[in-house]
Structure 1
Amino acid sequence: MLERFTVRISDDGSGTFGVWDNAVNSWRVTNLDLAGAEETKADLDLQFDAHGPRPPDNIRTVDPPQAVDCLVAWERGELDAWIRDGGQWFGRVRDRNGHVTWIPQSDLRPAN
């Protein structure tokens, strides 16, 4: 399960957002703004797979983040971490709007 977590509107009527854990069908955290929820989701997806904590050898952080181009129209993004899921490496890429997407290694290349 590559994206175990989902950002949802909190169900308490507050108009805030939360992070839903799809593996256990419960809230992981609530009462965040949208940007905070997206950031929390990205960090949790880096740390956990469907079975629990990711093995350390399946995570690689990129510090400082590296500019990359993504296959979809070769759009520019910023790569800050890798995870191995299902035998394939995926890069965590943040676009210019701050949205985070997991992209297969084969669909990324270093930016010029």
Structure 2
Amino acid sequence: MTVRPSDDGYKTFGVWDSAVNGWRATRIANEPKARELASDLDIRYDAHGPRPPDAIRHVHPCQEVQHPTWSTGELDVSIRNNGEWLGRVRDKNGHITWIPGTDLRPL
């Protein structure tokens, strides 16, 4: 999923799905909300359709992790993508990043 400015004439954002070559959502008020929706959709879908249940691992409660190139964040879910586990990490400012699981260190 990709976050782009919406093409609907409003100064809003949308989530573009390259696999289906179309919008998943438009008219999202701000970019952080659009990025969060895009990451939620990445959890549910891969390039071939719905992601298999065994390719999703939710972390309850969220786990604080550290990445070698930046400080800390909270891991809330991991997905298997092309044979590699990726963790969704939210930093202290709320920005979401997908990071390879091998690069994450629990605190």
Q: TM-score, with normalisation over the residues of structure 2? A: 0.93
How many Å separate the matches in 1 of 2:84 and 2:27?
A: 34
Q: Which residue of 2 aligns with 1:60?
A: 57
Shift of 1:23: 0.8
Detail structure 1 runs of 4+ shifted over 4 Å in the superposition. none
SS in 2 for 1:57: helix
Identity between Structure 1 and Structure 2 (%)? 59
Unmatched 5+ residue regions in structure 2? none
Q: Establish whether residue 50 from structure 1 lines up as the match of residue 47 from structure 2.
A: yes
How many Å separate the matches in 1 of 2:103 and 2:65?
A: 10
How many Å separate the matches in 2 of 1:82 and 1:20?
A: 22
Unmatched 5+ residue regions in structure 1? none
Q: Establish whether residue 41 from structure 1 lines up as the match of residue 41 from structure 2.
A: no
How many Å separate the matches in 1 of 2:85 and 2:49?
A: 18
Q: Establish whether residue 12 from structure 1 lines up as the match of residue 8 from structure 2.
A: yes
Q: 1:78 aligns with which of 50, 74, 81?
A: 74
1:16-74 CA-partner distances (Å, limit 9, x unpaired): 1110001111110001122221111010011110000100000000111111001214x
How many Å separate the matches in 2 of 1:72 and 1:52?
A: 32
